[in-house]
Structure formats: C-alpha cells, structure tokens
C-alpha cells in the first residue's frame, strides 16, 4: 500500500503525528511507501525541519520508502492528490489528508475489499478530532453524498444494508468525501481525478459519479477508522464558494446530461451565459465516451434515488407584482404565512412551480425525503393561503 498525505501550510507537528500513526498502526508487510505532497506551502518548518524528520524516519524504517512531491505553485486539492497518485508505485493507493491519525487495523479492511474487487473505491469512517483540544468525536458509519450544489453531506445507507443487521459490513455509497483507497491502476484507468478542478470542492462528487457510471462502485468500510482533525479555516482561501460554484458547473457539464441545470438552480445561476469559465472539458467528455459510462439518469435511479431529479420543474424565479416592486416572500418565523415584500435576491423569495401544480416558496430541497414549503389554500374562513411542508 502507498499512503499519500496532501498538505498546504499544515502544522509540522500534525504531519509528524500522521506519519507516525501510519507507521505504528499499519503492518510493515502492507505498507510500501508514504508520499508527502506539499502544495507550495509557505511555512518554513515544512522545508528543512520536515526534511530532517523524514530522514530520521527512513533511518528507523529502512524498508519504507518516503517520497516527496513539492509543487512550485498552488495547484489545488485534486491536482495534489493526482501528484501523489502518480508518485506511488504500490498496487493500492490511499489518498489522505495530512491532518489525520489512523486507528488500529485501519488498512486491513480497506485492502480486503479491494482484493475482493479491484473496481471498488473504499473509504474509512473518519472520526472528528477537535482542533482546539484534540478530543476525538466518534462518528457512526454513513454513506457519503451531496446535494445539487455539490456540497458534501452524510446520508443513510440503502435499506438493504440495515436489513443485514451487521454494522461491520461495508455499505454502498453514492459518493466519497475525499479520503479514499483504491487499486492504483484502476484509478488510472477511469481517469484518476479531474485536474481541471480548481482549489477545492466538487472533485470528490465528480469521482463518485464517474466510478459508479463507468464500471466501479464505492463503499464505506465501518471496520476501518481514521481520526480527521478539523481545521479552523481552509488554507486555500477564506471563501470556497467561487471555487465550489465553478467546479460544480464543470461536473454538471461533463456528467449530468439533462439534469445539469439542477446545479444552476441550486446556485441560482442562469442556465445559459452564467459568465463562469469552467475550463476545457473536452478531454473529460472523451474519457466518458471511451469508458462507455452509463447516463446520469441510471445513476439517479440505481445509485442515488434519494436525490430529487426535479424533472417536472416548469419554472423558477421571483414572483413579482406587475405594478409594484413587491415579491412573494415566505415571511417571518415560523415561515408559514406568505407576505409581499420588497423584491431582493435572497432565498425567502425564490419560487418554483412544478408540473404537479405545486408552488414552492423558498429554496427547493435537493432530496426526496425533505419537505418544501408549498403555497396552499386551506379553505379556512380567513381565506389566507399558507405555507406548509409538502
């Protein structure tokens, strides 16, 4: 196994803890190499001091290769992980953040699943470690998923997993949060990660859709656990929204077919001429065609049926009174009495009309199990329409 640790201006102590935990808690015959990928850090102690530490580790573990990759400029998370994948030589590669510590027996369950099926991409369960006191908060196993804006979220496993009544069994997952292990060659065969992604965000959803539709699958493995140290802030930029929006549009253009406009809806952007440069996607489209990947409709029906396809949406936008600058608004808490208010572009004034005749006020939800606020005439004496969960 090759373990790739990606970092940007990480504390040296955190990187040392990650390396030490991997060495101490991975059987020596399973761990071939650790690849450190520095995405152009500015911290001085990640240069000479880290070099000294790596040299001491290699002296203590002569059979272990520790590879180093340093970017001359910041390339972002997806490109950094690709750099680590390219530098690896082992049959299986684990792509991890540098701010982690692995639990005992973390590697064996992941390797077992990949040995059974080289086309499966697996993820451990990662507990949260508070950055302010390093206390561990245990997380239960859950599927990794997303909404139409492509923000990551946890999701329940499919009903068949719960019917097994065995919480140690791997569960199928629509996506992957980013920390993963895979057969190194298989990952290359399906296109690794999209190097056209910028900074951070969306690359994991793109990988999840691609794996499922192009011949593989994704599993979360409960018996493998990693402690993930949360960060007070993301190192690349204070606001990830611009990068997330741009990357989400890129994923939609390549993989989502007739459903790609749902990403525009989620971000409140025009379907055409949104003014955001998503980069050249021609090679990714060629990859999809070459791999004979299934359509996104298949993914929605067979992998992630909880995601609402919104395929009966007739219209969306603000509902404005023709003679005034007033728009329908979902009002005040508890948000069940609609009002007319000065038109302004915020969530409470978004409206969506569906082919079923339902009119939703406020942001439409991405998932079938979530309820929207539907404009309803309850037929009461007041004749005042209300907003009710529907």
Give residue 237's pLDDT: 65
4 three-class SS: strand
pLDDT of residue 268: 87
> Which residues of the chain are under the pLDDT cut of 50?
none
Inter-helix orientation angle 77-87/203-213, to 10°: 60
CATH 1.10.8.460 in the chain, residue ranges: 241-300
With H, G, I as helix, E, B as strand and everything else as coil, classify residue 267: helix
Rounded to 5 degrees, what angle do the CA atoms 53, 56, 62 make?
Answer: 135
Residue 385 to residue 388: CA distance in whole angstroms:
10
Whether the link from the prior residue into 386 is cis, omega within 30° of 0, is no
Cα gap 126→200, rounded to integer Å: 19
Strand partners, 307: 367
The predicted structure's pLDDT at residue 363: 83
Is 194 in contact with 206 (CB distance < 8 Å)?
yes
pLDDT at residue 332, rounded to an integer: 85
pLDDT score, position 382: 64
Asked if residues 86 and 78 have their Cβ atoms less than 8 Å apart, the reply is no
User: What's the confidence (pLDDT) of residue 133?
Assistant: 85
Q: How far apart are CA 346 and CA 140, in angstroms?
A: 35
Q: What is the pLDDT of residue 84?
A: 97
Identify the bridge partners of residue 92 per DSSP, sorted by sequence position: 183
> Comparing C-alpha atoms, which of 65, 188, 171 is closest to residue 118?
188
Question: What confidence score (pLDDT) does residue 390 get?
Answer: 61
> In this predicted structure, what is the pLDDT of residue 298?
98
> Which residue ranges does the chain devote to CATH 3.90.550.10?
2-229
* Topology, domain 241-300: Helicase, Ruva Protein; domain 3 (1.10.8)
Angle between helices 48-60 and 12-25 (to 10 degrees): 10
Strand partners, 152: 146
At 145-162, the pLDDT tens digits run: 999 999 999 999 999 999
- The 8-class DSSP code of residue 158 comes to P
The fold of the 2-229 domain, in CATH, is Spore Coat Polysaccharide Biosynthesis Protein SpsA; Chain A (3.90.550)
Yes or no: say if 102 and 22 are a contact pair by the CB < 8 Å rule.
Answer: yes
pLDDT at 141: 95
pTM metric for this prediction: 0.91
């Amino acid at each position: 196994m090759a373990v790739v640790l990606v970092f940007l201006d990480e504390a040296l102590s955190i990187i040392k803890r990650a390396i030490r935990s991997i060495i101490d808690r991975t059987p020596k015959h399973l761990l071939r190499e650790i690849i450190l990928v520095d995405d152009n850090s500015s911290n001085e102690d990640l240069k000479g001091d880290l070099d000294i530490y790596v040299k001491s580790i290699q002296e203590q573990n002569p059979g272990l290769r520790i590879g180093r990759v340093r970017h001359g400029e910041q390339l972002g998370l997806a490109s950094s992980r690709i750099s680590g994948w390219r530098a690896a030589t082992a049959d299986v590669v684990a792509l991890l953040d540098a701010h982690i510590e692995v639990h005992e027996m973390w590697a064996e369950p992941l390797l077992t699943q990949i040995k059974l099926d080289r086309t499966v991409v697996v993820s451990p369960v990662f507990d949260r470690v508070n950055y302010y006191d390093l206390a561990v908060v245990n997380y239960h196993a859950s599927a990794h998923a997303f909404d139409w804006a492509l923000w990551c979220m946890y999701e329940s496993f499919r009903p068949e997993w719960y019917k097994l009544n065995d919480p140690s069994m791997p569960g199928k997952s629509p996506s992957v949060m980013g920390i993963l292990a895979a057969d190194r060659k298989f990952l290359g065969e399906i296109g690794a990660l999209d190097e056209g992604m910028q900074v951070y965000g969306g690359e994991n959803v793109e990988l999840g859709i691609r794996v499922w539709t192009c011949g593989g699958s994704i599993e979360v493995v409960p018996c493998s656990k990693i402690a993930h140290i949360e960060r007070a802030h993301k190192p690349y930029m204070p606001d990830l929204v611009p990068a997330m929006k741009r990357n989400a549009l890129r994923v939609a253009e390549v993989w989502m077919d007739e459903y790609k406009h749902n990403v525009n809806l989620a971000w409140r952007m025009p379907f055409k001429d949104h003014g955001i440069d998503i980069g050249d996607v021609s090679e990714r489209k060629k990859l999809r065609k070459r791999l004979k990947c299934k359509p996104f409709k298949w993914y929605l029906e067979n992998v992630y049926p909880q995601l609402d396809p919104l395929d009966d949406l007739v219209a969306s936008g603000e509902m404005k009174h023709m003679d005034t600058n007033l728009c329908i608004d979902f009002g005040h808490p508890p948000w069940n009495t609609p009002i007319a208010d000065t038109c302004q572009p915020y969530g409470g004034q978004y409206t969506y009309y569906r082919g079923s005749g339902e009119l939703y006020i406020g942001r439409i939800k991405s998932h079938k199990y979530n309820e929207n606020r539907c404009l309803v005439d309850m037929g009461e004496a007041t004749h005042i329409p209300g907003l009710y969960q529907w």
